[in-house]
Chain A
Amino acid sequence: MRELNEKALAAKEKKAALGPDIDLKTFTVEPPPHEALDSLYRLSEGDKKRMLTTGIEASEQGRAGSYIQKDGTAIFSRSMQEGLEVIPIREALKSFDWVKEYYWKLVSVDADKYTSRAQLDLHDGYVIRALPGSKVIYPVQACLYLEKEGLSQNVHNIIIAEEDSELHIITGCATAAHVKSGLHVGISEFYVKKNAKLSFTMIHHWAEDVMVRPRSAGIVEEGGLFLNNYISMKPVKSLQMYPTTHLIGKGATARFYSLLFGSPGTELDVGGRMYLKAEGTRAEIIARAITNGGNIISRGELIGEVPEVRGHLECRGLILKGGTIHAIPELTGRVDGVELSHEAAVGKIAQDEILYLMSRGLTEDEAASTIVRGFLSVDIPGLPQALKEEIDRAVDLSQQEVM
């Protein structure tokens, strides 16, 4: 720990490689105390409603476990299935030595001032682990909730799918309805072990003046599958993330899907980077970005380091009413025998598609929203139906703002 702290201290002022710089001093690091809950029914109606927009069910129905964090406090945390562990990270670091083998092992603590802050002022976070061979069929839900105005919420999450396990997580990040500004720093480290399957679906519902700096990285071993879905359809001031995934075992696969919407005043800089480091690895990054006044940078980078690997990048952007979309796809092949491709398109709704639908009876507005809805429906093979429905719900909830 001391070594981590020293490194973190040294990076305290270090600007991030990407995204507008944030003056950390404008946010408070003192989270207010919150009482732990013995049941999610005791959440206020307002909180329940807000959390539901990010896929968090207060009834816990259809969920294998829950982790709810309000500001800096883990107020609720439990597993309801054998073979599944859901533990607040501060408690886990104190009680279990094995956690240290995963803590700051994929993300560098001195990457920038945000990682530094997550070490020096940690406000908890979760450790979710599926034990070897266990199949957690229902998704585990995790919510990082910001209730205090102007707080810098600094969390660290560790997600482990042990060998031959299957784990699905839906994580909702949201602000209470009254919150206007705040900062969310979130470190996430993903470990997908041999022949394990992990899906991680993150839905963000922040507020207009909130800044968000997730810092995540994952590793996928032989035969493992990592599905990473990210949905940000609500206003946020500035969000920058560029998660990195390392495919290190034979036949490992990672797919990253993102659905982004930028309203006026929103700046999103989102991408994924994947290193294909073993034979037969597969990587796919698919992004759909829509703006009606916001600025979106959609990045993607595939790096093929060994032969017999395959990767594809796809970014489609739709500019509805002002704003910019900047697609930056990058491919690097370092040896013979890599197969990497990309496809990027930025444009507006095609007039011939509108007219086609109008000739079937829709008004112009109905036609446009039908096309946008189609644009945002991406097939994600391997994702459980319940999570597909959560993604659809998040998209439907924003339809009004989009159009």
Chain B
Amino acid sequence: MLAIEDLQVKLGDKEILKHINLEIKTGETHILFGPNGSGKTSLLMTIMGYPQYRVTAGKILFKGHDITHMSVNERSRLGIGMSYQRPPSIKGLKTRQMVQICAHDGVDVEGLARQMNFSDFLDRDINVGFSGGEIKRSELLQLMAQDPDLLLFDEPESGVDIENIALIGTTINHLLQRDLKPTADKSKKQVVKERTRMGLIITHTGFILDYITADKGQVLYDGVLACKSYPHAIFKQIKEVGYEECVRCAS
């Protein structure tokens, strides 16, 4: 479980997250909406442990550990992984090596790359000259190798072409174990109980909702979380009346 309690975060002198409370139970996936600049990326980077996001109050708990002041790699070891909106490129580091860095023993890098339509990129320097959509596939490939318990996705569909959007969507769904279906001898309740992965997905366009079943949606507006509801309901509201109205109705 991830629990965020009354979290306040500063970036430089600017307060970018205010009194955030958020709980993602084991097996749950949440969608995070919000206009540009509302602090969505900041929230994910704070959970991942990026030191420039200074926690000034509150705490973050994960799997029962207080991780508020843990380093990024300790959080990674504990099972948190992130798909970045704009990851840096690293010259001379091949994508293959990067996937191997992420991987646990015995991960079949070539096989995963084939699944992600990414075999041709394994011998290219990571993110160097990648298009927006290629970056997303590279990020997902890394997460598949890493296989964390809490997955943070920062706009995984932005820049992805129509051909690959379904691939991105179903891959995320799979990573989050959302594709487990009830069967004759397994009820829906049992299936849900078997899920261990947690997800937090930022979406700007909402396209990803066509592929992913999520448990909850929230809107981040000006550093404040508001408007807990079903993701589709929130998205409909935003489309109809815009963020400002949507958030006003919640307050």
Contact = CB atoms under 8 A, between A and B. Distances in A.
A pairs with B:
yes
Contacts of A374: 90-93, 125
Contacts of A362: 73, 101
A332 interface: no
Contacts of B72: 355, 358-359
A41 interface: no
B167 interface: no
Summarize A's interface: helix, strand, loop or mixed: helix
Contact of A378 (B82, B92, B146): B92
A137 B82 CA distance: 47
Interface in A346-363: 350, 352-353, 355-363
Contact of A358 (B71, B88, B91): B71
B81 interface: yes
A28 interface: no
A370 B76 contact: no
B101 A361 contact: yes
Interface string B80-117: 01101001101111000110011000000000000000
Given A357-B101, A360-B102, A371 B90 contact: yes
A373 B97 CA distance: 12
B73 A364 contact: yes
Contact of B90 (A353, A359, A378): A353
A376 B92 CA distance: 7
A356 B146 contact: no
Nearest to B71: A358
Nearest to B87: A356
Contacts of A371: 90, 93
A264 to B, nearest CB: 25
A39 interface: no
A75 to B, nearest CB: 38
Given A355-B50, A374-B125, A361 B92 contact: no
B142 interface: yes
A104 interface: no
Report which residue of A352, A356, A375 has the largest number of chain B beta carbons within 10 angstroms of its beta carbon. Answer: A356
A370 B101 contact: yes
A377 B91 CA distance: 8
B73 A361 contact: yes
Contacts of A367: 73
Nearest to B91: A374
Contacts of B49: 359
A358 B88 CA distance: 13
Contacts of A364: 71, 73
Contact of B77 (A350, A361, A377): A361
B48 interface: yes
Contacts of A376: 92
A260 to B, nearest CB: 15
Contacts of A373: 92-93
A316 to B, nearest CB: 8
B108 to A, nearest CB: 18
B132 to A, nearest CB: 17
A219 B176 CA distance: 61
B30 to A, nearest CB: 20
Nearest to A374: B92
B73 A359 contact: yes
A212 B84 CA distance: 47
Interface in B5-46: none
Contacts of B73: 358-359, 361-364, 367
A171 to B, nearest CB: 25
Nearest to B89: A353
Contacts of B76: 358-361
Nearest to A288: B92
Contacts of A360: 76, 81, 98, 101-102, 142, 146
Given A361-B73, A361-B102, A374-B125, A356 B92 contact: no
Contacts of B142: 360
Contacts of A352: 88
Interface in A328-387: 350, 352-353, 355-364, 367, 370-371, 373-378
A371 B76 CA distance: 19
A356 B88 CA distance: 7
| 6 closest Cβ pairs, A-B complex | A374-B92, A374-B93, A358-B73, A358-B72, A377-B92, A352-B88
Interface of B: 48-51, 71-73, 75-77, 81-82, 84, 87-88, 90-93, 97-98, 101-102, 125, 142, 146
11 contacts: A352-B88, A355-B72, A356-B84, A356-B90, A361-B77, A362-B73, A362-B101, A371-B90, A371-B93, A374-B92, A377-B92
Interface of A: 350, 352-353, 355-364, 367, 370-371, 373-378
Given A357-B101, A359-B81, 14 more contacts: A353-B90, A355-B72, A356-B84, A358-B73, A359-B49, A359-B72, A360-B76, A360-B98, A364-B71, A370-B93, A373-B92, A374-B90, A374-B91, A375-B91
